[in-house]
Amino acid sequence: MPSKYKTRDLGELLLREDQATYKAREEDRLHKRHVAFKLIDLFCGAGGMTLGFTEYFGHHFKPIWANDFNKYCVATYSVNFGEHCVHGDIVDILKQPSTKIPQADVVIGGPPCQGFSLLNKNREHDPRNHLWRPYLEVVEKSRAKVFVIENVPQILGTFEHGEIVGAAEKLGFKVWHGKLCAADYGVPQTRWRAFIVGSKLSDPCLIFPPRKTHFNPNGNGHQSSLDYTADANYLHVPQRWRTVRDTIGNLLPPVGTNPRAEPPPLDLHFGRTPTPKSLKRYKAIPKEGMNRFDLLKRAPELTPLCWIKKKTGGTDLFGRLWWDKPAFTIRTEFFKPEKGRYLHPEQHRPITHREAARLQSFPDSFIFKGTKIEIAKQIGNAVPPLLAARIADIVYVLLTA
């Protein structure tokens, strides 16, 4: 960071930029930059992070290169952002002499996180733990000034986490890392994610994490978001967490069991055909917030034996969402109630693809490609775009300070 900037100066700069940006958004005056910062997205999936950095952040960033191993993800990314997404294994791509990584200002992405997930019993020796290495190779080759790695919270404090920080510091980056709750940034979902941010310009520790834009009305996070009062005209007052009702309450019951040739939101608002026993189970727990333990109390004859034996843990399994709370973490199999709290608050069914996409903060206009199973994976694996946009807020300050 240039010596003329002190810690207080950078904080005040962030405040002015943040306040002016919010005011511009409110007045719909945020225009495109003449020259946008160039953006690379690795392990891009559907492009949730790219969406947050571009469409959700006033077009200050321009995506120029992306990569994913899944051809359906590449198709989704390409139809939404352009034909610059390369399909294939990034390790193999980097080995090819013909590969040329374009110069960029920022590299973002989430190396596959299953290796660190608590759901993965073999995570200690999972080879996917090391895909940050080609990620940093792209950072180096692109001469990026800032990078953002997204992953599951369990990565923090691991040996690999230490290796990532050490390797980044050898490349000249100063590094911040921490956990963020998506609900604190406008996403109707209490999804926790880890972020590792590196910068060659200013120390990201001085201005990360982003200040919260939303607060838990039942918690004590309200005051911490109101610390900045330099200019009352520009102060952004945090709103309450967005809820399931805010997000999907206006949708009618779904039709059919497959994607439809209908305009959004109807295209992905389809259901399933439950077995008679599954439907009885749904009806046995009709109130929002109920779960598998309520099923055991009310209809033990319908309760799977494995749930009867397992009397602890898993309180969200076979659970109904609450109307007036955010959703819990949306994973790739949100259409299976036995996998989590994915039952509609009052209708006897799991949430639809459209409802899951909205709960991840994807706009209805976003186009998903692939089978319904592949689309579900893209939705569940994505970084919520609104959360990515708040990261973009601070990355923009790092690049312009």
Section 82-93 average pLDDT:
96
Residue 12: which CATH number?
3.40.50.150
Q: End-to-end CA distance of the chain: give it in Å, rounded.
A: 9
Contact 80, 47 (CB under 8 A): yes
Residue 1 within any structural domain of the chain? no
Do 298 and 210 lie in one domain? The reply is no
The rounded distance, in Å, linking the Cα atoms of 336 and 272 is 10
Tell me the pLDDT band of 229, cut-offs 50, 70 and 90: very low
Do 261 and 194 lie in one domain? The reply is no
Q: Measure the CA angle with vertex 268, ends 262 and 269; round to 5°.
A: 95
Section 37-61 average pLDDT:
94
Residue 345 within any structural domain of the chain? yes
Section 373-399 average pLDDT:
96
Three-state SS across the chain? CCCCCCHHHHHHHHHHHHHHHHHHHHCCCCCCCCCCEEEEEECCCCCHHHHHHCHHHCCCEEEEEEEECCHHHHHHHHHHHCCCEEECCHHHHHHCCCCCCCCCCEEEECCCCCCCCCCCCCHHHCHHHHCHHHHHHHHHHHCCCEEEEEECHHHCCCHHHHHHHHHHHHCCCEEEEEEEEHHHHCCCECCEEEEEEEECCCCHHHCCCCCCCEECCCCCCCHHHCCCCCCCCCCCCCEECCCHHHHHCCCCCCCCCCCCCCCCCHHHCCCCCCCHHHHHHHHHCCCCCCCHHHHHHHCHHHCCHHHHHCCCCCCCCCCECCCCCCECCCCCCCCCHHHCCCECCCCCCECCHHHHHHHCCCCCCCCCCCCHHHHHHHHHHCCCHHHHHHHHHHHHHHHHC
Do 112 and 19 lie in one domain? The reply is yes
Share of the chain above pLDDT 70, in %: 83
The rounded distance, in Å, linking the Cα atoms of 36 and 62 is 6
Section 144-173 average pLDDT:
95
**pLDDT above 60 (res 136):** yes
Does the global pTM surpass 0.95?
Answer: no
Residue 28 confidence (pLDDT): 46
Residue 133 within any structural domain of the chain? yes
The rounded distance, in Å, linking the Cα atoms of 28 and 25 is 5
| Catalytic, out of 44, 73, 85, 113 | 113
Residue 281 within any structural domain of the chain? yes
Do 194 and 296 lie in one domain? The reply is no
Contact 115, 126 (CB under 8 A): yes
Average pLDDT of the chain is: 87
- Of residues 14 and 316, more confidently modeled: 316
The rounded distance, in Å, linking the Cα atoms of 188 and 346 is 18
**Residue 113 a catalytic site member:** yes
Range of the domain at 375: 244-381
Residue 57 confidence (pLDDT): 82
Tell me the pLDDT band of 315, cut-offs 50, 70 and 90: confident
Tell me the pLDDT band of 14, cut-offs 50, 70 and 90: very low
CA dist 386 → 24, 74, 252, 358 (Å): 17, 21, 25, 11
Residue 286: which CATH number?
3.90.120
Do 16 and 165 lie in one domain? The reply is yes
Section 63-75 average pLDDT:
98
Tens-place pLDDT, residues 164-178: 999 999 999 999 999
Tens-place pLDDT, residues 15-47: 554 555 555 554 444 444 456 899 999 999 999
Q: Measure the CA angle with vertex 249, ends 248 and 253; round to 5°.
A: 85
Share of the chain above pLDDT 90, in %: 76
Paired with 195 in beta bridges are 150, 178
Do 301 and 225 lie in one domain? The reply is no
Paired with 176 in beta bridges are 197
Do 227 and 350 lie in one domain? The reply is no
| Lowest-pLDDT choice from 170-174, 229-233, 247-251 | 229-233
Tell me the pLDDT band of 120, cut-offs 50, 70 and 90: very low
Number of domains in the chain: 2
Residue 369 confidence (pLDDT): 98
Do 214 and 78 lie in one domain? The reply is yes
Residue 167 within any structural domain of the chain? yes
Residue 34 confidence (pLDDT): 55
The rounded distance, in Å, linking the Cα atoms of 89 and 96 is 11
Residue 2 within any structural domain of the chain? no
Tens-place pLDDT, residues 170-199: 999 999 999 999 999 999 999 999 999 999
Do 60 and 113 lie in one domain? The reply is yes
The rounded distance, in Å, linking the Cα atoms of 370 and 9 is 48
Do 278 and 174 lie in one domain? The reply is no
Cα-based torsion angle of the residue sequence 181, 185, 186, 189 in order, rounded to the nearest 10 degrees? -10
Do 181 and 124 lie in one domain? The reply is yes
Residue 302 within any structural domain of the chain? yes
The rounded distance, in Å, linking the Cα atoms of 189 and 327 is 4
Residue 314 confidence (pLDDT): 75
Do 48 and 71 lie in one domain? The reply is yes
